Every structure is written in structure tokens, then in C-alpha cells.
């Protein structure tokens, strides 16, 4: 693995740990529009960008995103609405990208499962609104991933 790939992977794991700790995920928004980028890995695929901190998001509010501002959403909303919805829309999650637009591109359900795995490791349980329990959410993620 290259040094850059190692750094990207490390930043991804930091993202997972920090969003579980804070129970918040950050993005850049302008008039209900969230910052996106074209995938560097898959042609014709969009990546919606998320950070584990307001500062990380704010650092990328430049160039075409200069008029965007950091906005947080709850971790439950990120998991239930964003990850599940992005999976259905065939979008990718970009985590903790740097201002030069380098960062991890991941399948939304994989990100959601990594978050749930970290929640369990930290003995945390979120109150889901669209699922009966965190366990039900995890079971459905696994089922969907196995069906691919």
C-alpha cells in the first residue's frame, strides 16, 4: 500500500471513530445542496463528502465550495437517511477529504456497517427512528451487502 493510500485509510478509520464519539457528521451545504465531487475511482459516479469535524469541513470550503458552510447532522440521520438513501441512488461516501480533494471513497452500506461495528466496540447504542433497534439496522445492512 502506498503512503497516500495508508494515509487515506487511516483518515477513514479516524472518521469512523470520531463520528461514533460525537454522534455527529459534518458536510458542506449551500441552499440545501451538499458538496459533492466526481469519483476518482468510478466513471459517472458522484461522491457526497462528509467529515468528522466542523473544522475539517470548513477547511474544504474553498474554490467551487467557497460559498458553502459546514452543517452537522446526527449520526442516526446519517446512517438511516444518508447511507441507506445513497446506496439506493448509487452514490459513494467521501470521508474526511483534504482540501486538495484526496480521501476515501466508500460504499455507503460499508460505511454504515463500519460505524455500527465501532458503536458495538464502544458499547454505544443509538436510538434509531426507522428501525426497531441498532441490531435490526445491522442485520439489514449485512443482508443487503450479502445480496450484492
Mean pLDDT, the chain, integer:
94
pLDDT number for residue 4 = 78
Predicted pLDDT at 5: 79
Number of residues that make up the chain: 148
Report which DSSP code applies to 41.
Answer: S
Q: What is the mean pLDDT of residues 63-78?
A: 95
Could you give the CA distance from residue 48 to residue 43 in angstroms, rounded to a whole number? 15
Question: Are 115 and 106 a contacting pair, CB within 8 Å?
Answer: no
Predicted local distance difference test score (pLDDT) of residue 1: 61
Q: How far apart are CA 119 and CA 17, in angstroms?
A: 9
Position 41 confidence tier, pLDDT thresholds 50, 70, 90: confident
Confidence of residue 8 (pLDDT cuts 50, 70, 90): confident
pLDDT at residue 109 greater than cutoff 80: yes
**pLDDT at residue 66 in the model:** 93
Q: What is the pTM of this model?
A: 0.94
Per the structure, the count of domains in the chain is 1
Distance, CA of 147 to CA of 25 (rounded, Å) = 28
Does pLDDT of 48 surpass 80?
yes
Tell me the three cell numbers of residue 50: 462528509
Count helices and strands (H / E) in the chain.
6, 7
C-beta atoms surrounding 135 within 10 Å: 13
pLDDT for 102 beyond 90? no
Give the pLDDT confidence score for residue 94 in this predicted structure: 96
Its domain, for residue 99, covers 3-147
pLDDT at 63 over 70: yes
78 CB-contact burial (10 Å; exposed 0-12 / middle 13-18 / buried 19+): buried
Contact of 27 with 38, CB cutoff 8 Å? no
Amino acid at each position: 500500500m502506498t503512503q497516500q493510500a495508508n494515509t487515506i485509510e487511516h483518515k477513514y478509520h479516524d472518521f469512523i471513530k470520531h463520528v461514533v464519539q460525537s454522534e455527529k457528521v459534518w458536510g458542506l451545504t449551500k441552499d440545501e445542496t451538499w458538496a459533492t465531487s466526481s469519483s476518482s475511482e468510478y466513471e459517472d459516479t458522484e461522491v457526497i463528502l462528509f467529515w468528522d469535524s466542523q473544522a475539517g469541513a470548513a477547511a474544504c470550503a474553498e474554490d467551487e465550495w467557497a460559498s458553502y458552510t459546514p452543517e452537522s447532522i446526527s449520526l442516526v440521520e446519517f446512517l438511516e437517511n444518508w447511507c441507506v438513501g445513497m446506496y439506493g441512488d448509487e452514490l459513494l461516501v467521501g470521508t474526511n477529504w483534504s482540501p486538495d480533494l484526496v480521501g476515501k471513497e466508500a460504499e455507503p452500506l460499508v460505511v454504515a456497517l463500519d460505524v455500527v461495528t465501532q458503536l458495538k466496540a464502544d458499547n454505544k447504542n443509538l436510538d434509531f427512528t426507522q428501525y426497531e433497534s441498532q441490531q435490526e439496522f445491522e442485520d439489514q445492512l449485512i443482508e443487503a451487502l450479502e445480496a450484492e
